[in-house]
Amino acid sequence: MDNKKKQILLAERPIGTPDNNTFQFVETGIGQPENGEVLLRTLYVSVDPYMRGRMIDTPSYVAPYELNKVIEGGVIGEVIESKSDHFTQGDVVIGGYGWQTYYTAKETEVRKIDKDIAPISTHLGILGMTGLTAYFGLLEIGKPKEGETVVISGAAGAVGSVVGQIAKIKGARVIGIAGSDEKIQYLTEELHFDEAINYKTTSSLKKDLTKACPNGVDVYFDNVGGEISDAVLAHINKFARIPICGAISSYNLEGHDLGPRVQSTLIKKSALMQGFTVGDFANQFPEGSVSLAKWLQEGKLQYQETIKEGFENIPDAFLDLFKGNNIGKLLVKVADQSS
Amino acid sequence: MDNKKKQILLAERPIGTPDNNTFQFVETGIGQPENGEVLLRTLYVSVDPYMRGRMIDTPSYVAPYELNKVIEGGVIGEVIESKSDHFTQGDVVIGGYGWQTYYTAKETEVRKIDKDIAPISTHLGILGMTGLTAYFGLLEIGKPKEGETVVISGAAGAVGSVVGQIAKIKGARVIGIAGSDEKIQYLTEELHFDEAINYKTTSSLKKDLTKACPNGVDVYFDNVGGEISDAVLAHINKFARIPICGAISSYNLEGHDLGPRVQSTLIKKSALMQGFTVGDFANQFPEGSVSLAKWLQEGKLQYQETIKEGFENIPDAFLDLFKGNNIGKLLVKVADQSS
């Protein structure tokens, strides 16, 4: 076993796109667990767009990261030493302790996961935060009815790809918007979306939407914001529902995110636009997890992961999120599971 | 009795602010009611901001006005001749037949109103469309809880003034935004709003809001859109609700209504923004009407009307809406009630 652990700290708050100066790698002693604690070795680290928001010092739904502290986020770890009655060596757990290779956790800080229902990495994705985000945002805010049209931006991402499949399960017509031909092919051929539009190569997103949505848009699940959302808004139907999950197009903007104001459209269409984060539905997580696991086991949900290897590649993996290179959940594998 | 009726037609679709060329006055024969019809003399005509939207040929929640046809809208009329079993001479009715001095209505086109519970003009205002708009927008979308903070733009208008009073009835702290010292005084002294801000004279609406809303904004009832709404959005709390009732700041804009995109704020605050029109709640009108009449009779609701006199002044009254000169409901009195 190593006797040092690696950590990645927030070295400075980024303005615009984060770069190498944003992060600092350090090493420190691993330490010993005390009673009620477990020593964890990190297996997978999650990188997610929302983390960009925590890097700046503006009030949001979660506290900003502290400077010179480890960057927190979802992690899958393995118990390598336990001083807790609730865990034994070899248990695999999920926690939020972030970008470090080892961590001494209080037993209340982490939760054991079932290693058998699916690969353990899925607990950071389709069976975890991003799957639940898709589930609750679509079903609690979007509320698609059979035969309605659901449009999803960032459709090939960790959340969007699940949203579309759940919408299909609910009998909706599903149109995905994504940024590469590989993603378009994935959405239509693997996930059986009814249509998918490559916003980077289209000559007119509006025209493509008109063609793909002959009956208008009833639900628009928005992961990106910006001009893509402006275009979709022009197609919404009366009583449309618009869950606002992300606005990745704006996260690295240095100036204001200016665009057409939405108020008049919302009035004309009696439409609802609601921002949310998965934590808003925390007391319904058990229900969501059960449904997702069931659909996964029944083969009704597919998933894809983009897995980078190596702790030192975490910052690059994070930056890849904003380049739109990943399909499905983007993860970094830090170590092999020993058991 | 006159043997001609006056009508105001839509002569051309306005670009920017409507003017004299927008309207055309004509005279035509009054005609006789047939079986199942009533002949009405117009007493009051309602002018409302939403009518601006119907003057252009863009799909909205109601069909556009037709060129060279009478401009439709809420009217209080008196039955001067009845060929219907449901109406007798002297009955006062409400209808949507618009800007004309007489009208022959099918008995199903109009509804008798109770002349005794309040002045008949209130059926176009606090007991009518604008009161119901306030009632449902606030209670069904805004859902203010006791002790929460409710901010209202266009607060001295026909809708805003009722919204604030209902929010007070529900135990909320109420802040109004309006555009003249007379309106501010009306809101705080007559309607007992907790605070009112004159956006035209303040040096910083944001600072005034910070001071007036020390606990942030839980409900923002938006009648105006534009920069006022941008400023209020900066103050919303987690789980804020934002009923979008109007965007009068944009109705006469010739170009795009550009501003900061709202998506990121909605996510950070898990906030809801919902456009609506009163017709969305049509099947609940009886409940709303009963509550409004009860509060009015109990003295819990005050109202003010700005009444212009004379059919020929209807276009000017309509244009006044966009100058922000009126307090409460703006109406035009066309004739005296004979009975």
pLDDT at residue A60 above 80?
no
Are B94 and B113 a contacting pair, CB within 8 Å?
yes
Out of A246, A256, A266, the one facing B267 most closely (by C-beta) is A246
Write out chain B's pLDDT in tens, 339 residues: 678 999 999 999 999 899 989 999 999 999 899 999 999 999 999 999 999 989 988 766 678 999 999 999 999 999 999 999 999 999 999 999 999 999 999 999 999 999 888 999 999 999 999 999 999 999 999 999 999 999 999 999 999 999 999 999 999 999 999 999 999 999 999 999 999 999 999 999 999 999 999 999 999 999 999 999 999 999 999 999 999 999 988 888 877 889 999 999 999 999 999 999 999 999 999 999 999 999 999 999 999 999 999 999 999 999 999 988 889 999 999 999 986
Residues from chain A that touch B239, judged by Cβ atoms under 8 A, are 280
Which of A239, A258, A266 best probes binding to B when mutated, by most B CB atoms within 10 angstroms? A266
pLDDT at residue A297 above 90?
yes
CB contact under 8 A, B270 and A276: yes
Q: Which of A49-58, A89-98, B218-227, B289-298 has the lowest mean pLDDT?
A: A49-58
Are A37 and A83 a contacting pair, CB within 8 Å?
yes
Residue A193, pLDDT score: 98
> Any idea which residue has 């975490």 for tokens?
A314
- Beta strand B272-275 pairing with A272-275: antiparallel
Give per-residue pLDDT as tens, A315-333: 999 999 999 888 999 999 9
Give Cα separations from A185 to A43, A174, A205 (angstroms). Answer: 31, 14, 18
Size of interface A-B (CB pairs under 8 A): 128
> What gap in Å lies between CA B4 and CA B261, rounded to an integer?
52
CA dihedral B117, B119, B125, B128 (to 10 degrees): 40
**Is CATH 3.40.190.10 correct for B129-281+289-295?**
no
Residue B1, pLDDT score: 64
Domain boundaries for CATH 3.90.180.10 within chain B? 4-125+304-333
Residue A282 to chain B, least CA–CA distance (Å): 13
Residue A61, pLDDT score: 66
Residues 6+ away with beta carbon under 8 Å from A213? A149, A151, A173, A175, A235
Give per-residue pLDDT as tens, A110-168: 999 998 889 999 999 999 999 999 999 999 999 999 999 999 999 999 999 999 999 99
Task: From A177, A129, A176, A166, select the one nearest A144 (Cα to Cα).
Answer: A166
Name the fold adopted by B4-125+304-333.
Answer: Quinone Oxidoreductase; Chain A, domain 1 (3.90.180)
Q: Is B251 or A174 the better-scoring residue by pLDDT?
A: A174
Give Cα separations from B289 to B130, B152, B246 (angstroms). Answer: 11, 22, 21
pLDDT at residue A216 above 90?
yes
Find residues 109-148 of chain B whose CB sits inside 8 Å of chain A: none
B263 touching A (Cβ < 8 Å): yes
pLDDT category of residue A299 using cuts at 50, 70 and 90: very high
B53 touching A (Cβ < 8 Å): yes
Residue A57, pLDDT score: 84
A237 touching B (Cβ < 8 Å): no
Out of A222, A258, A273, the one facing B258 most closely (by C-beta) is A258
pLDDT category of residue A222 using cuts at 50, 70 and 90: very high
Among chain B residues, the shortest Cα distance to A229 is held by: B263
CB contact under 8 A, B273 and A262: yes
Q: What does DSSP assign to residue B283?
A: G
CA dihedral B301, B302, B308, B311 (to 10 degrees): 20
Residue B339, pLDDT score: 60
Task: From A184, A227, A119, select the one nearest A327 (Cα to Cα).
Answer: A184
What is the rounded average pLDDT of the residues A52-65? 82
Q: For A172-196, b where at least 16 C-beta lie within 10 A, e where not — what string? A: bbbbbbbbbeebbebbeebbebbbb
The mean pLDDT value of chain A amounts to 95
Three-state DSSP class for B72? coil
Q: Within its chain, how far is the Cα of B317 from the centroid?
A: 13
> What gap in Å lies between CA A94 and CA A80, rounded to an integer?
14
CB contact under 8 A, B263 and A238: no
Residue A194, pLDDT score: 98
> What gap in Å lies between CA B166 and CA A151, rounded to an integer?
37
User: What is the three-state SS of chain A?
Assistant: CCCEEEEEEECCCCCCCCCHHHEEEEEEECCCCCCCEEEEEEEEEECCCHHHHHCCCCCCCCCCCCCCCECCECEEEEEEEECCCCCCCCCEEEECECCECEEEEECCCCEECCCCCCCHHHHHCCCCHHHHHHHHHHHHHHCCCCCCEEEEECCCECCHHHHHHHHHHCCCEEEEEECCHHHHHHHHHHCCCCEEEECCCCCCHHHHHHHHCCCCEEEEEECCCHHHHHHHHCCEEEEEEEEECCCHHHCCCCCCCEEECCHHHHHHCCCEEEECCHHHHHHHHHHHHHHHHHHHHCCCCCCCEEEEECHHHHHHHHHHHHHCCCCEEEEEECCCCCC
Domain boundaries for CATH 3.40.50.720 within chain A? 129-281+289-295
Residues from chain B that touch A250, judged by Cβ atoms under 8 A, are 261, 263-264
Cα radius of gyration (chain A): 20
Both tokens of residue B94?
Answer: 């409400």
Q: Which amino acid is at B180?
A: S
Model ipTM value:
0.92
